[in-house]
Each structure stands twice: as C-alpha cells, then as structure tokens.
Amino acid sequence: MLLFFVLSFAQPQWTAPFIFVSYPVSLVFLIILILLTPLLSSFYYRLPLAIRPLLLILYIFKYILLLYILLHFFLPLVPDQIDDASVLILERMDNHVSAAIGFFEFAGSLFGMILGIVAGGLWVVLEMLLIVIFLLAVPLISLGLMKGVQYLLDYTYKRFVFQPIIDGKKRKRSAPGIRQSPIEGQDNIARARMPEQLPSEDIRVHDDLPR
C-alpha cells in the first residue's frame, strides 16, 4: 500500500486502471467494513474453511479502500508537470537560486552568487525531503488511525455486546433449580444398586445371648 501510494505521485496516469471504486462509494464501503470486521473476526474460527478466505479478502479490501480515499484527496495536489520531473526540479532550483542570490547581494557579487547557489540547492533538497516524508507519513498515519478506530470498536463490542452475552450464560448455568447434578444422580444409583449386607450368623448368635 505504501509503495503504491508513493508511485501514484510519481506516475499519476498509472493509477486510473487500478481504481475501480470511486469516491464517495469507497468511503461508504470502508465505514461498513470497519464496523463489520470486528463482528466477523469473532466468528472466524467457527466458519467453514471454504469461507475463511472470503473474510481475509474483506480485510484486504478494507485497506485498498483506504488507499483509494487517500488518492482521491491527495492526488489532485500533484502538479501537471510531474511527468517531466527533471524539468520541474531544474525550474524549482533556478527559482530558489535566483531568490537566494538576491538575498545575499550584500555579501558582494561573487561571494553572494556562491552563497545563493548553495542555499538554493539546499532549499530544493529540503523540499524534496519534505515531500518524501509527506508521502511516507500520510499512509502510515492513516493506517494508525484506522487501527485505533478498529481497536476501539473491538473493545466496545467486547464490553457492551459479547461480555453481557457471556455473563448471561454464566448466570444461567449457576442458577439453582430442581435439576439434579450428574454426580449426585450417579451416587444415588450406586447406593440403590448396592444390596444391604446382613450381619453374619456369629454376630447374630452373640447378639441373642443374654448379657
């Protein structure tokens, strides 16, 4: 996702064939998937093996939709001259060098020109560095925000949906009733099947003797 986002700014014409869900439909689908995936993940291991890959496809599609939304908002910021990046960079460098030379006029013609060229080149390098940081930071921050929302929804579903259901089942199992436990039933059956042993004759004879 990160690589495709960066390449989309270098070659914007390549992105059109890969975008098959336009805005705002992509935003609607993304919200629906963000709300549904925590519920679906709770039943993942209960699903048949043939259906589990479909759920994984939904997870991947969620990140693709996020990429589409980012391209919708940030791709129009790319200048039209991006197809010829070398010309654009040279033009920016020429403008910055000219502005820097004008700023350092007080240092003399020769020394001011040297300072202007160095400052203008550093200015262009700084701009390129900021652009690269921007291209890397935007998708990473977006992924972090979506992960945060996902974790918040997971906690909300667990706290207010799944936990009450689990607690209700526990209370139902521990509630008193007339049902007899299996262990007590087995003890009663064992006692019923055991024959009552009579005392031996010697004991009965001795019991009949006068004391």
The number of folded domains in the chain is: 1
Residues 6+ apart with CB under 8 A from 103: 116, 119
Asked whether residue 83 carries a pLDDT value surpassing 70, the answer given is no
| Cα–Cα dist 9/74, whole Å | 9
Query: What is the average per-residue pLDDT within 117-121?
Result: 83
**Residue 76 falls within a domain, yes or no?**
yes
Asked whether residue 211 carries a pLDDT value surpassing 50, the answer given is no
**Residue 195 falls within a domain, yes or no?**
no
Query: How much is the pLDDT for 144?
Result: 92
Asked whether residue 157 carries a pLDDT value surpassing 60, the answer given is yes
Interval 22-33: pLDDT, tens? 888 989 999 999
Is pLDDT larger for residue 79 or for residue 133? 133
**Residue 28 falls within a domain, yes or no?**
yes
In this structure, are residues 178 and 62 in contact, taking their beta carbons and an 8 Å threshold? no
Interval 3-45: pLDDT, tens? 777 777 767 777 777 788 888 898 999 999 998 888 887 777 8
**Residue 181 falls within a domain, yes or no?**
no
Query: How much is the pLDDT for 16?
Result: 72
**Residue 205 falls within a domain, yes or no?**
no
**Residue 68 falls within a domain, yes or no?**
yes
Q: pTM of this prediction?
A: 0.66
Query: How much is the pLDDT for 29?
Result: 92
Query: What is the average per-residue pLDDT within 64-82?
Result: 80
Tokens of 54: 């479909």
Interval 166-200: pLDDT, tens? 767 667 776 555 454 445 445 555 454 545 454 45
Residue 181: DSSP 8-state: P
Closest CA relative to residue 128, chosen from 9, 15, 13, 11: 9
Q: Which amino acid is at 72?
A: H
Residues 6+ apart with CB under 8 A from 12: 75, 78, 82
Closest CA relative to residue 41, chosen from 166, 162, 169, 164: 162
**Residue 25 falls within a domain, yes or no?**
yes
**Residue 203 falls within a domain, yes or no?**
no
Which residues constitute the domain of residue 6? 2-171
Q: If you search the block for the tokens 């652009």, which residue do you land on? A: 131
